[in-house]
């Protein structure tokens, strides 16, 4: 077996949408192109979240928005942090 992956490609982000959103919203279209590559060549992983956008013309358009490391900002990866310590210093175990 070879360590390969199959990737579905997306278009470059819509430049007008990028400009209107101050470079925040990168909306792309899914392409009918598939690429097979060695997994060791992958440098980064992103999520492409489906989103229906309302354009300035009033039309709705389906696109995919890129999100890097979704959920990474709220995960603790099992690492104990001192910020999770109990702030209740008294010994009575009252439940509020």
Tell me how crowded residue 2 is: count the other CB atoms within 10 A of its CB.
6
Which H or E element spans position 20? helix 15-20
The better pLDDT of the pair 88, 36 is held by 36
pTM over 0.85: no
Question: Is residue 73 scored above 70 in pLDDT?
Answer: no
| Mean model confidence pLDDT for the chain | 80
**Domain regions of the chain by residue span:** 4-71
What number is the average pLDDT over the span 61-83? 69
The better pLDDT of the pair 73, 14 is held by 14
Question: Is residue 86 scored above 80 in pLDDT?
Answer: no
Residues 6+ apart with CB under 8 A from 35: 6, 7, 9
Instruction: Return the pLDDT at 91.
Output: 61
Instruction: Return the pLDDT at 11.
Output: 95
Instruction: Return the pLDDT at 57.
Output: 84
């Amino acid at each position: 077996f070879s360590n390969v992956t199959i990737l579905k490609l997306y278009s470059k982000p819509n430049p007008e949408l990028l400009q209107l959103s101050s470079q925040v919203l990168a909306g792309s279209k899914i392409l009918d192109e598939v690429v097979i590559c060695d997994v060791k060549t992958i440098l980064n992983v992103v999520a492409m979240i489906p989103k229906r956008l309302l354009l300035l013309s009033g039309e709705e358009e389906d696109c995919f928005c890129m999100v890097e490391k979704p959920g990474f900002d709220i995960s603790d990866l099992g690492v104990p942090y001192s910020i999770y310590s109990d702030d209740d210093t008294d010994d009575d175990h009252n439940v509020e």
